[in-house]
Homo-oligomer: A and B are copies of this chain.
Amino acid sequence: MKNYIKEHIDAFREENKNRARLLINCPDQPGIVAAISQFLAEHNANILESNQYSTNPKGGEFFIRLEFEMPQLKEKIATLEEDFKEIKEKFNMKATFKYVDQIKKVAVFVSKEPHCLLELLWEWQSGDLMADISLVVSNHETSREYVESLGIPYYYIPANKDIRNEVEEQQIKLLKEHDIDVIVLARYMQILTPNFVEVFKNKIINIHHSFLPAFIGAKPYERAYNRGVKLIGATSHYVTNDLDEGPIIEQDISRVDHRDNAEVMKKIGQSVERSVLARAVKWHLEDRIIVYGNKTIVF
């Protein structure tokens, strides 16, 4: 990693060393917010931001994300989590503490088209995507030069459907060695096996080049053109074993008209893909997303 990027990251970590996030979901009932905020106040934490949502306030699922600051957080993590168990059990919560200075290790998978990778690297260089981009994996050599110029290791692993299992074995090994938290499929164009998806459940973010559920699968721009749509879009979602059916994180569209053939739509679409994927990855890195069933709550 280049020095100036490392400096961005170090400054960010220092600035946020006492900052944490708490993500919770549980069956809704009176008293949850009071219990949590009481707990945080007793632990000397100041709530900086909080967002909540209930599928149905009368007996649905309750979701909350809190961001808080707590002096000497580092030394108190163990106590904090231990003390919270009582509330967690009482309300039957799924609860996770995230510590802001523990920035996530990211692997980017890319195929031949570099636009989504480039957008991520750019945001990253400017200090707008706070992550440790630990490696790039590709079945093409196209982006090696640029990736390595930023000090990021580039792994060329040829891939196709006949050697899927061997390829994934090699990839999983690599991802585990690097202790990767998030895998971003920045137009990787290869289908992953159920095994791979299982190993990294809710940790693989994909960008699909259509406004799902329209044009699931291959060649969405060609199909959009043939259908004569007036909008094209892009969708970022977590990968599950149902092709393009995973929980949607973000979508956006761009207007097209009869003059735009499939090739032009692809160009226009790349710009939407770039921004949709960058937003989705950012929200994931900031622990803004709770996956619930096949949907996301984005706080």
Measured CB to CB, the residues of A under 8 A from B are 29-38, 40-41, 44-54, 57, 69, 115, 118, 122, 126, 128, 149, 211-215, 227-231, 233, 247-253, 257-259, 267, 271, 275, 294-298
A-B contact pairs, 13 of them (CB 8 A): A32-B47, A34-B37, A36-B37, A49-B53, A53-B258, A57-B69, A212-B214, A212-B229, A227-B248, A228-B247, A231-B251, A253-B253, A271-B275
In the bound complex, CA of A48 to CA of B229 (Å) = 23
Interface centre among A29, A48, A249, by most B CB within 10 Å? A48
Question: Which residues of chain B are near A41, meaning CB under 8 Å?
Answer: 30-31, 33-35
Identify the closest chain B residue to A289 (Cβ): B258
Question: Could you tell me if A128 and B267 are in contact, using CB atoms closer than 8 angstroms?
Answer: yes
A37-B38, A214-B213, A231-B251 as given contacts; A44 in contact with B30, CB under 8 Å: yes
Question: Could you tell me if A227 and B213 are in contact, using CB atoms closer than 8 angstroms?
Answer: yes
Q: This chain: how many copies in the complex?
A: 4
Give A71 Cβ to nearest chain B Cβ, in Å.
Answer: 10
Question: Could you tell me if A251 and B230 are in contact, using CB atoms closer than 8 angstroms?
Answer: yes
Question: Could you tell me if B228 and A248 are in contact, using CB atoms closer than 8 angstroms?
Answer: yes
Question: Could you tell me if B298 and A258 are in contact, using CB atoms closer than 8 angstroms?
Answer: yes
Give A275 Cβ to nearest chain B Cβ, in Å.
Answer: 7
Give A111 Cβ to nearest chain B Cβ, in Å.
Answer: 15
In the bound complex, CA of A9 to CA of B40 (Å) = 41
In the bound complex, CA of A161 to CA of B230 (Å) = 32
The dominant DSSP class at the A interface is mixed
Question: Could you tell me if B46 and A30 are in contact, using CB atoms closer than 8 angstroms?
Answer: yes
Contact of A50 among B35, B44, B50, B295 (CB under 8 A): B50
Identify the closest chain B residue to A250 (Cβ): B230
Identify the closest chain B residue to A245 (Cβ): B227
Question: Could you tell me if A248 and B229 are in contact, using CB atoms closer than 8 angstroms?
Answer: yes
Question: Which residues of chain B are near A52, meaning CB under 8 Å?
Answer: 47, 49-50
A51-B51, A259-B53 as given contacts; A211 in contact with B227, CB under 8 Å: no
Identify the closest chain B residue to A30 (Cβ): B46
In the bound complex, CA of A31 to CA of B31 (Å) = 16
In the bound complex, CA of A19 to CA of B19 (Å) = 34
Contact of A57 among B46, B122, B298 (CB under 8 A): B46
Interface centre among A231, A249, A267, A298, by most B CB within 10 Å? A231
In the bound complex, CA of A126 to CA of B274 (Å) = 14
Give A55 Cβ to nearest chain B Cβ, in Å.
Answer: 8
Question: Which residues of chain B are near A44, meaning CB under 8 Å?
Answer: 30
A267-B128, A271-B275 as given contacts; A37 in contact with B46, CB under 8 Å: no
Give A205 Cβ to nearest chain B Cβ, in Å.
Answer: 14
Identify the closest chain B residue to A252 (Cβ): B231
